[in-house]
A and B are shown apart, each in its own frame.
Chain A
Amino acid sequence: MSRSRRSVLVPSVMAFGFAFLYVPILAMIGYSFNNSRLVTVWDSANSPTLKWYSALWRNQQVLDAAWLSFRIALLNATGAAILGTLAGLVLARFGRFRGRTLLTALTTAPLVMPEVITGLSLLLLFVAMEQTIGWPAGRGVTTLTIAHITFSLSYVAVIVQSRLAGFDVSLEEAAMDLGARPVTVFLRITLPLIAPAIVSGWLLAFTLSWDDLVISQFVAGPGSSTLPMVIFSKVRLGVTPDINALATLMVLTVAVGVVIATVLLRRQERRREQDLRLAAGAD
């Protein structure tokens, strides 16, 4: 690759791009230590301070909302992981069957569908169901969980499907050849090997549910406000310092999680390389 024009353009755009991505977040974190209620006007006399963090701890509304969001995200991630894995398995392994196009469409559409449409439609469904069969009664945890699972499972399905596509089919054939029935093949061969994909799907579904605002607004009931809903209602009125504190905590948690995951992956890669070298020496 020649070193001339290209090599100045791309790295500078990249630098700009990364700065663009991170400056707002860093600014937000910085302001969370600002004593002034005006958030962006730095009160150098009294800052930095942790008072907004402690205010957060005492804010019952925020804590309740966080707990609700957490529970729903947990239920959602697990449900989406199960359903998404089944869907991904079917699409990758089951070849042609009646309804395959339909299933493919149903699993890929939620990836792009605007949330206002899915949110509204789901609410209408829940209302109609309540009217005809009495369930779900009112909107709350159940409807929120169902709604979140519905859009999360597509993400898991896509991840699992692409992992299975890159999978050596002869492994499953070999297992069958050695006498294992299809269920055994799935449990002892396929599942362990796609486990990392399922785990990352689980994490992704958790995040999507945790962050979801629009769909939640439609299908949540009067007593159930998720954390994003609480944040949004505060934020509509303007910038508030305790949101900065909350945001900082959330960003740091995620950052730590992602860094740990990357380090673990890197270590696994290095160990694998070592093993390959060990093998190459033999025989």
Chain B
Amino acid sequence: MTAADNGAASAPLSAAQPCVRIEGVTKRFGAFTAVDDVSLDIQEGEIFCLLGGSGCGKTTLLRMLAGFEQPSAGRILIDGQDMADVAPYERPVNMMFQSYALFPHMTVQDNVAFGLEQEKLPKAQIAQRVEAMLSLVRLDGMAQRKPHQLSGGQRQRVALARSLVKRPRLLLLDEPLGALDRKLREHTQFELLGLQKQLGVTFVVVTHDQEEAMTLANRIGVMDRGRIVQVGSPRDIYEYPSTRFVADFIGSVNLFEGRLTEDEADYVRVACPELPAPVLVDHGVSAAPEATVWVAIRPEKIQLLRERPAGTDNHAQGTVRDVAYMGDMSIYLVVLPGGRELRVTRANLQRKEEEAFESGDAVWLAWDAASPVVGTG
């Protein structure tokens, strides 16, 4: 019994029941554990991104949502209904495959209509919905073409149309932007966002590309070796990584190890052997005194100065080793006396840079107490 039966969106659920609930799901392939005790709630109407490197289990988790794999332990509930032993063709879930998986022997029209035909809808209604969907994804006039007569971007839109025309509760997307070139990728990202907002479908996206995740997601779940390491909004993940892995995985970061010298409720001080001055952080951290912690500072949060800054914390001195000019910003590699390299980025705010830093220049680095993140994990 699928929610798409009457063709209308299902009645709004109470906020208490999530669209998807994953409870303690584990998946083992022989001796190898691909997904390890994952629990997750996905809310209706949100775009949730599973982000991680290859082999982290994100695709396996996605396939379990689709019904192509069954969990070894735990359960998956969609709209409160347990999906154990529910076949893929009986779920209110549709998937957009990484390779698009368009049926090569059918026209665009037939491809998009296929899912509706399986629902045994009347022909006229099918034709109408297909036409409307093709318009929505801007493929009018392509209905009679076959997949091999379409470009990559067009094929993706057919795949999208084919899944969305069934008005699923949940749309799963497997690396949706991977096959597209850079310009097309940006364009498609916004198209996807627009479609999702318009149709209100819950998206679960799997990707290894953090840029993709950051652009698309309302919430991101970072995965590593089968486990969910952190769940949060893109901002949370980026600015407040809960573990070293997450800090390192997202964006670039300068990571240090240090010893907790002062631990108060509203600030901590960390002594890092690689830095000349202690790091003062404006939030507390739960750790034992004198514990070993990691400190992460994002490159854009570090300032480049000609003169020594005031204060006893949060600074370092070094030499510029390399400058990479990226157009909108520049990346500086600064070497500290101990040999440690720091990465600093700075936006090129003015066209004529009077005081540009060049390779070989001596430089002071400084950051404020709100910038570093400290953690124990």
Contact = CB atoms under 8 A, between A and B. Distances in A.
Interface stretch (B6-14, B17-25, B42-50, B95-103): B95-103
28 contacts: A170-B98, A171-B103, A173-B68, A173-B101, A174-B95, A174-B101, A174-B162, A175-B114, A176-B67, A176-B68, A177-B66, A177-B67, A177-B89, A177-B95, A178-B114, A179-B2, A179-B90, A179-B115, A179-B118, A179-B119, A179-B166, A180-B114, A180-B118, A181-B89, A278-B149, A282-B150, A282-B154, A283-B151
B306 interface: no
Given A168-B99, A177-B66, A180-B114, A283 B87 contact: no
Contacts of A175: 103, 114
A185 B151 CA distance: 26
A179 B89 contact: yes
B105 A193 contact: yes
B53 interface: no
A178 B148 contact: no
A61 to B, nearest CB: 47
B146 A275 contact: yes
Among B66, B90, B115, B153, the one with the most A-chain Cβ atoms within 10 Å of its Cβ is B115
Which of A170, A189, A275 gathers most chain B CB within 10 Å? Answer: A170
A176 B89 contact: yes
Contacts of A267: none
B97 A170 contact: yes
A279 interface: yes
B104 A193 contact: yes
A175 B119 CA distance: 12
Given A275-B148, A283-B153, A174 B166 contact: no
Contacts of A170: 97-99, 101
B148 A279 contact: yes
A178 B115 contact: yes
Contacts of A180: 89, 114, 118
Nearest to B155: A279
Interface of A: 168, 170-171, 173-181, 184, 188-189, 192-193, 272, 275-276, 278-283
Contacts, number: 82
Given A170-B101, A173-B97, A184-B118, A178 B151 contact: no
B88 A173 contact: yes
A174 B103 CA distance: 9
A16 to B, nearest CB: 41
Contacts of B150: 279, 282-283
Contacts of B151: 279-283
Interface of B: 2, 66-68, 87-90, 93-95, 97-99, 101, 103-105, 114-115, 118-119, 146, 148-154, 162-163, 166, 184
B104 to A, nearest CB: 7
Most buried by B among A173, A184, A272: A173
Nearest to B113: A178
A246 to B, nearest CB: 41
Which of B67, B148, B153 has the most chain A CB atoms inside 10 A of its CB? B148
Contacts of B87: 176
Nearest to B147: A279
A179 to B, nearest CB: 3
B292 to A, nearest CB: 46
Contacts of A283: 150-154, 184
Contacts of A174: 95, 97, 101, 103, 162
A178 B97 contact: no
B129 to A, nearest CB: 14
Contacts of B166: 178-179
A31 B218 CA distance: 82
Nearest to A173: B68
A30 to B, nearest CB: 46
Contacts of B2: 179
Contacts of A177: 66-67, 88-89, 93-95, 163
A275 B146 CA distance: 9
A129 B250 CA distance: 73
A168 B118 CA distance: 21
Interface centre among A170, A178, A279, A283 (most CB of B within 10 A): A178
Contacts of A189: 103
